[in-house]
């Protein structure tokens, strides 16, 4: 039951964050918003890590753990989020949010390929419904900007799915708190160097 409640809470927080992103994008470029975000998150996560006494776990990470964390960061927070910001700007929350949040579809197929998870008929049927929904959301006023926005949202969805697969592999041996802290540290460092 706790897992389900946390999932619902996570979805609500995601929805609110999209509204704030959209507001921020009126004044700033997607790359600027993407740079500020992880620095704030990293400060918060480091504080939680120190308070809970789990800081030493960072030094116990293996090369395999770090590889999966780097891949999850690159796919999700760098490529996926940047594509999402572009889609928000091009097509707005009403289209960008539902299209990009089809990432479980990609997660399922990538997890099947790389982790060996089994796809049921219900999942295949649900996937078809998702594809139909994407078409219905994006088919009005299908000009060049809308097309770019929709493709950016689909791209974000794919890379978030890839990130979730790498995340699942990483968290087989790393706690969620340590994973999130290291991931934000990698992301913040990358953005400070390259933006």
> Is residue 1 exposed (0-12), middle (13-18) or buried (19+ Cβ within 10 Å)?
exposed
pLDDT at 139: 57
114 token code pair: 């790389």
167 token code pair: 């995340």
pLDDT at 72: 96
pLDDT at 181: 92
Phi/psi of residue 139, nearest 5 degrees:
-80, -20
pLDDT at 35: 77
pLDDT at 183: 92
CA atoms within 13 A on the CB side of 14: 13
pLDDT at 157: 94
pLDDT at 3: 63
146 token code pair: 């809308």
Residue 5 to residue 48: CA distance in whole angstroms: 21
CA atoms within 13 A on the CB side of 28: 14
pLDDT at 61: 93
**Which regions of the chain are under pLDDT 50?**
none
Per-residue b or e along 35-63, where b marks 16 or more CB atoms closer than 10 Å to that residue's CB: bebbeebbeebeeebeeeeeeebeeebee
pLDDT at 2: 63
């Amino acid at each position: 039951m706790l897992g389900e409640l946390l999932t619902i809470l996570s979805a609500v927080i995601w929805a609110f964050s999209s509204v704030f992103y959209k507001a921020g994008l009126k004044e700033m470029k997607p790359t600027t918003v993407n740079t500020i975000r992880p620095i704030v998150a990293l400060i918060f996560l480091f504080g939680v890590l120190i308070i809970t006494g789990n800081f030493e776990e960072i030094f116990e990470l293996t090369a395999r753990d770090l590889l999966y964390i780097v891949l999850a960061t690159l796919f999700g927070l760098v490529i996926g989020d940047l594509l999402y910001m572009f889609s928000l700007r091009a097509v707005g929350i009403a289209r960008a949010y539902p299209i990009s949040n089809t990432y479980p579809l990609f997660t399922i197929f990538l997890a099947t390929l790389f982790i060996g998870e089994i796809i049921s008929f219900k999942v295949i049927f649900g996937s078809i419904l998702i594809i139909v929904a994407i078409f219905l959301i994006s088919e009005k006023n299908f000009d060049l900007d809308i097309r770019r926005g929709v493709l950016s949202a689909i791209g974000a969805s794919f890379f978030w799915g890839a990130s979730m697969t790498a995340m699942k592999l990483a968290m087989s041996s790393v706690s969620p708190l340590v994973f999130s802290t290291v991931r934000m540290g990698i992301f913040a460092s990358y953005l400070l160097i390259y933006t």
